[in-house]
Chains A and B, each alone.
Chain A
Amino acid sequence: MVQRATFLVVLLLALQTALATTYPLTVHDELGAELMLPAPPQRIVSMIPSDTETVCALGACDRLVGVDALSDWPARVASLPRLGNANDPNLERLVALKPDLVLTDEYSGLAGRTIVQASMGEYPQVDPEYVVQKDPQVVLLLDAPNGQMLAAAEARPGWSQLRAVRDGGVVALDWQQVDLLSRAGPRMGDAVVLLAWLLHPGRF
């Protein structure tokens, strides 16, 4: 999973240095994970619109072989195969395109799998039965600063059985953490580190 957690930084490094640098090239993403590019990437899949635009701005639009459902600029990417959205990509089609670099949403890359699908909308109301049935390992309470307390969440009907509750995986985020996770700004790298630390406490 972490190999797919590639960032804009990797992309910029890879493309800017394509002329001056010798391959194989090893770069580090913001998690510190090593990514080895044996040759300049020729078949790129972008699963985030911002990366699609950046790839094209760098003059490498013709190297794109597939994009996510939301990429719509520049206009020429409209003719490329659509691979769903970053949280829920069409993996079979993605593999079939034989990309040598996949630019994905950093969160989806390392978050494991979220049980709430993007298609359910921005603030989905989820059937509580579904949560119990899916038995998540980690629950992030983004509402904790507004009084949605940890104890109240864990006392919800049926939650005492959840792995997240039994193993201490219900985490009440504070304001700073909520802001960090909800702002797609220059601190996005910090957000990824925070998320990685929340999801894999032993490894980060």
Chain B
Amino acid sequence: MARVLTRTAVPTTRAVAPVLVSTAALGVVLVAATSVGSVWVGPGALLSAVGDGVRGQVHGTVDTIVWQLRVPRVLLAALVGAALALAGAAFQGVFRNPLADPYLLGAASGAGFGASAVLVLAGSVPWLTRLGVPGAAFVCALATVAAVMVLARRDGGLPAVSLILAGVVLGSSLSAGTSFLMLAARDRAAGILSWLLGSFAFASWERVLSVAPLFLPAAAVLLLAGRALDVMQLGEESAAQLGVPVERVRLALLVAATLATAAAVAVAGVIGFVGLVVPHAVRLAFGPRHVRLLPLAAVWGAIFLVLADLFARTVLAPAELPVGIVTALVGGPFFLLLLRRQHAR
């Protein structure tokens, strides 16, 4: 790994090509994933269904399946994959720690606890019913990370070690709370577990449109910070001497990555692995510079999660696998293979 991380920078003119090629690959994957499902939809039928949908003229089963279920589902998977991989790359860069992932500061445990609380108590607590599972997951994810940041503050700064420790400890407490809820309401446990493992079965245009306005500004902040992140890899003191406002950049990155993560988790549950491993895979394939790593992580995160969800909804059809199981079970061996081949070179 060390050899890879210290690989020298490539000229910026060559930096654009991989992004273009990867984006084209994403386009192909999006179209393919929209064609495959309970009903196979050929290119012609796909175009006409999407055309009907855009004009608001959805008629018949195929139109309904494509426009109201499959297109939003594929787009949601792409958005969530991009958000998680981008946030993961940012967290790994900020903490200069290869084990960092988007859930490091407790966003997943917070979201899981909020979602579980709604799944268990919604019938008896009306305002929880109105908040809904995504609402509660989003609010609790943000609240948990905010609490971690407040707890980790030292002398006006946010030391990395305090942040990580506070995140891990608060996350453990909230996970214990979720486990308690699952034991206390056994008949809800299957529902909670399947939410915790992540799924796009509840995808809808509404969810796509609720994630996008949070993801886009967060992604813009993260992508713009690529150069500063690259300088910060030299160490925070050196970066400060080179004129990078380290504390402010770090706070902006943490807030933006947390926002993207919370939005993703709220609509799809806790999907593991994407945010940890996609940045590493991209680093292995395209080099460690954040200017290029960040956009490529977003694109490949989208590709990876769209394909994982395609697998999750087709392999046992008409039943579905939780997509979080697929990301780890299928993605894990793939990553290990990539790692070995890279070392063998």
Which residues of A sit under 8 angstroms from B238, Cβ to Cβ? none
A127 close to B318 (CB less than 8 A): yes
Is the pair A146, B72 in contact by a Cβ cutoff of 8 Å?
A: no
Q: Contact at A147–B320, with CB atoms within 8 Å?
A: no
Given contacts A122-B190, A133-B39, contact A157 B69 (CB under 8 A): yes
Residues of B within 8 A of A123 (CB): 190-191, 194
Q: Are A133 and B38 in contact (CB under 8 A)?
A: yes
A74 within 8 A of B: no
State the main secondary structure of chain A at its contact with B: loop
Number of interface residues of A (CB under 8 A): 22
| Interface 1/0 per residue, A106-144 and B, CB below 8 Å | 000000000000001111111111101101000000000
B122–A132 touching, CB < 8 Å = no
CA distance A146 to B192 in the complex (A): 13
Residues in A with CB closer than 8 Å to B61 are: 132-133, 135, 161
Q: Is the CB of A145 within 8 A of B123?
A: yes
Q: Is the CB of A157 within 8 A of B319?
A: no
Q: Which residue of A lies closest to B120 (CB)?
A: A146
User: A158–B58 Cα gap in the complex (Å)?
Assistant: 10
Q: Are A132 and B123 in contact (CB under 8 A)?
A: no
CB < 8 Å: which of B39, B72, B123, B316 contacts A157?
Answer: B72
Chain B's closest residue to A178 (CB) is: B187
Given known contacts A123-B190, A146-B122, A157-B72, A129 and B65 CB-to-CB distance under 8 angstroms = yes
B191 contacts which chain A residues (CB < 8 A)? 123
Which B residue's beta carbon lies closest to that of A133? B38
* Nearest B residue to A162, CB-CB: B64
Say whether B319 contacts A126, CB under 8 Å. yes
Q: Which of A127, A135, A147 contacts B317 (CB 8 A)?
A: A127
Structural contact, A127 and B38, CB atoms closer than 8 A: yes
Q: How large is the interface on B (under 10, 10 to 19, 20 to 34, 35 or more residues)?
A: 20 to 34
Determine whether the beta carbon of B320 is less than 8 Å from that of A125.
Answer: yes
Contact (Cβ within 8 A) B201 A132:
no
| Chain B residues, Cβ within 8 Å of A122 | 190
- What string of 1s and 0s marks CB contacts (under 8 Å) between B76-98 and chain A? 00000000000000000000000
Residue B258 CB within 8 A of the other chain: no
Whether the Cβ atoms of B65 and A158 lie closer than 8 Å is yes
CA distance A161 to B61 in the complex (A): 8
Interface residues of B in 34-49 (CB under 8 A from A): 37-39
With contact pairs A132-B65, A157-B68, A157-B69 given, residues A125 and B199 touching in the complex (Cβ less than 8 Å): yes
Q: Is the CB of A158 within 8 A of B69?
A: yes
Total contacts A-B at CB 8 Å: 73
Q: State which residues 302-318 of B face A: CB under 8 Å.
A: 313, 316-318
Residues of chain A contacted by B69 (CB below 8 angstroms): 128-129, 132, 157-158
Q: Is the CB of B37 within 8 A of A157?
A: no
The answer for the CA separation of A120 and B190 in the assembled complex, in Å, is: 14
Give the residue name and chain of the A residue nearest to B126 (CB).
A147
The answer to whether A147 touches B123, judged by C-beta atoms less than 8 angstroms apart, is yes
Q: Determine whether B70 belongs to the interface, using a CB cutoff of 8 Å to chain A.
A: yes
CA distance A31 to B317 in the complex (A): 35
Least Cβ distance of B277 to chain A in Å?
Answer: 24
Which of A124, A132, A147, A156 has the most chain B CB atoms closer than 10 A to its own CB? A147
Those of B118-167 within 8 Å (CB) of chain A: 119, 122-123, 128-129
B37 touches A127 (CB 8 A): yes
Tell me the minimal C-beta distance from B211 to chain A in angstroms: 15
How far apart are the CA atoms of A147 and B68 in the complex, in Å? 24
The CA of A145 and the CA of B121, in the complex, are separated in Å by 11
CB-CB contacts below 8 Å: B90-123 with A: 119, 122-123
Q: A147-B129, A157-B69, A158-B65 are in contact. Are A124 and B38 (CB under 8 A)?
A: no
CA of A147 to CA of B38 in the docked complex: distance in angstroms?
A: 29
- Asked if A161 and B122 make an inter-chain contact with CB atoms under 8 angstroms apart, the answer reads no
Please tell me if the beta carbons of A129 and B38 are within 8 angstroms of each other in the complex.
yes
CA distance A126 to B317 in the complex (A): 8
Is B324 among interface residues, defined by CB-CB distance under 8 A? Answer: no
Q: A145-B123, A158-B68 are in contact. Are A129 and B319 (CB under 8 A)?
A: no
- Going nearest first, the 8 A-B pairs with the smallest beta carbon separation are A147-B122, A130-B318, A129-B38, A123-B190, A146-B123, A157-B68, A120-B319, A147-B129
Known: A157-B203, A158-B65; 12 extra A-B contacts, CB below 8 A, are: A120-B318, A126-B201, A127-B38, A129-B313, A132-B65, A133-B38, A146-B122, A147-B123, A147-B129, A157-B69, A157-B204, A158-B69
18 A-B residue pairs with CB within 8 Å: A120-B316, A120-B319, A121-B319, A125-B319, A125-B322, A127-B38, A127-B320, A128-B201, A129-B38, A129-B69, A129-B70, A130-B318, A146-B188, A157-B72, A157-B205, A158-B65, A158-B68, A158-B69
